[in-house]
């Protein structure tokens, strides 16, 4: 029997904001544990959350850039669950009325363009962090991250291989960085992915039972976890068993996923509209103002680089891979008498080659563009 892989991704992008989504506490990364969570983030009795307008603006920018529908009226909901890193006992998220829905993103696989539909993108707060490794035999809690603004971007189950999933994730990663709404720093967890995977007999229309592998914070891990899950599921089905719908964790050292908990259904979370927060109302004028703020996006930049600087398409593609590289090139070329093609060749050949060898990024290269 031939099997088809079905993948849908949920991506959490941490939004670039100085303060939390519902409080004025700082979001600076790497502070001493438990120094950046205020009464609102902890949900102490008597406090009231207030939405950070910056977060709304960033969600709307994302909606514009993915040709999505931006809800004129969206609502925050309480997602109730008990976990030590969630002191309130609920996470403020969006459920029935997310701020962004029905977007699209084009990805490239084997030189062909495929459109992936984005089901929704909603605003929510992050939880705190449970620390296990540093405290053998116990769990410690750092609540600094509690209340950090997130945009959760949910795709339709439309990817058909680990390569497609990674391509989608890369495209999304680049987009949020270009938009300036997320720093994309994956080691710090600013951009992380839950991978929903199922398999079905080729030609079947029905979806198979999925598992969700949580918190994958690199492209490599996403690829590995998906490939592992696909094999595991096929093996189970071929030996007469059935896949259990559950949440799994990927163990990078062992290269395998393991069960974490049985999958919750929406009703387990007892969602209800958060009575402490007003609905978000977005007007036509507000959207129009933000439309002007959308920067030049990767596809447009690619076309312009080829036209304006006479670069080969494949070279231009490397230069637009992230906004830092594109800016580095354009700053270099602004210098009087600079030859764009020569600059491009030198960057791609010499500099990027040396950077790869030394395992460095543009940010820690001691050369200024000019």
Residues of this chain that bind ligand ADP (CB under 6 A): 6-10, 154-157, 196-198, 207-208, 210, 212
Of residues 159 and 332, the one with the C-beta less far from ligand ADP:
159
Q: Which is nearer to ligand ADP, 131 or 260 (CB)?
A: 260
**DSSP 8-class letter at 313:** H
Q: Minimal CA–CA distance to 312: which of 349, 277, 280?
A: 349
Binding partner of 156, given Mg ion, ligand ADP, none, CB within 5-8 angstroms per partner class: ligand ADP
User: Cβ of residue 370: shortest distance to Mg ion, in angstroms?
Assistant: 46
CA dist 242 and 114 (Å) reads 31
Q: Give me the least distance between CB of 258 and Mg ion, in Å please.
A: 20
Q: How many of the chain's residues bind Mg ion (CB under 5 A)? A: 1
Nearest-CB residue to ligand ADP?
8
Angle ∠(259,204,266) on CA atoms, nearest 5 = 45
For the chain, give percent helix, strand, coil, nearest 5: 35, 25, 40
SS3 345: helix
CB of 96 to Mg ion, least distance (A): 14
Q: Which of ligand ADP, Mg ion, none has residue 210 at its interface (CB below 5 to 8 Å by kind)?
A: ligand ADP
Region label for 43, one of left (φ > 0), alpha (ψ between -120 and 50) or beta (otherwise): left
Q: Which DSSP string do the residues of 84-143 spell out, in sequence order? A: TT-TTSEEEE--SS-SEEEEEEEEEETTEEEEEEEEEEEEEE---EEE-TTSTTS-EEE-
State the nearest-atom distance from the C-beta of 66 to Mg ion, in Å. Answer: 18
User: Helices (H), strands (E): how many in the chain?
Assistant: 10, 16
Smaller CB distance to ligand ADP: residue 266 or 312? Answer: 266
Partner in contact with 347, chosen from Mg ion, ligand ADP, none, beta carbon below 5 to 8 Å by kind: none
| Binding partner at 198 among Mg ion, ligand ADP, none, C-beta below 5 to 8 Å by kind | ligand ADP
Q: What does 222 bind: Mg ion, ligand ADP, none (CB cut-off 5 to 8 Å by kind)?
A: none
């Amino acid at each position: 029997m031939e099997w088809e892989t079905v993948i849908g991704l949920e991506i959490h992008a941490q939004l670039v904001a100085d303060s939390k989504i519902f409080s004025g506490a700082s979001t600076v990364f790497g502070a001493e544990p438990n120094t950046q969570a205020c009464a609102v983030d902890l949900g102490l009795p008597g406090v009231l959350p207030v939405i950070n307008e910056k977060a709304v603006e960033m969600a709307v920018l994302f909606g514009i850039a993915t040709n999505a529908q931006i809800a004129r009226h969206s609502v925050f909901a309480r997602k109730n669950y008990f976990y030590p890193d969630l002191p309130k006992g609920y996470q403020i998220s969006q459920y029935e009325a997310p701020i962004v829905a029905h977007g699209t993103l084009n990805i490239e696989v084997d030189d062909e363009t495929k459109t992936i539909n984005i089901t929704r993108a909603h605003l929510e707060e992050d939880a705190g962090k449970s620390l296990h490794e540093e405290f053998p035999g116990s769990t410690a809690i750092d609540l600094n991250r509690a209340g950090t603004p997130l945009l959760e971007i949910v795709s339709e189950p439309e990817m058909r291989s680990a390569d497609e999933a990674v391509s989608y994730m890369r495209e999304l990663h680049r987009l949020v960085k270009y938009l300036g709404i997320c720093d994309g720093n994956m080691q710090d967890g600013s951009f992380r992915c839950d991978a929903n995977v199922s398999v079905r007999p080729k030609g079947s229309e029905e979806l198979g039972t999925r598992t969700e592998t949580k918190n994958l914070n690199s492209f490599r891990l996403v690829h590995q976890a998906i490939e592992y899950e696909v094999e595991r599921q096929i093996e189970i089905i071929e030996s007469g068993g059935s896949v259990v719908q559950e949440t799994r964790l990927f163990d990078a050292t062992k290269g395998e996923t393991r069960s974490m908990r049985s999958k919750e259904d929406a009703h387990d979370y007892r969602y209800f509209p958060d009575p402490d927060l007003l609905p978000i109302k977005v007007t036509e004028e507000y959207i129009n103002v933000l439309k002007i703020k959308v920067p030049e996006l990767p596809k447009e930049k690619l076309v312009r680089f080829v036209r304006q600087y006479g670069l080969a398409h494949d070279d231009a593609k490397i230069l637009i891979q992230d906004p830092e590289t594109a800016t580095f090139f354009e700053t270099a070329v602004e210098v009087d008498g600079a030859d764009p093609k020569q600059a491009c060749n030198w960057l791609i050949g010499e500099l990027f080659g040396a950077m790869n060898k030394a395992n460095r990024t543009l940010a820690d290269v001691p050369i200024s563009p000019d």
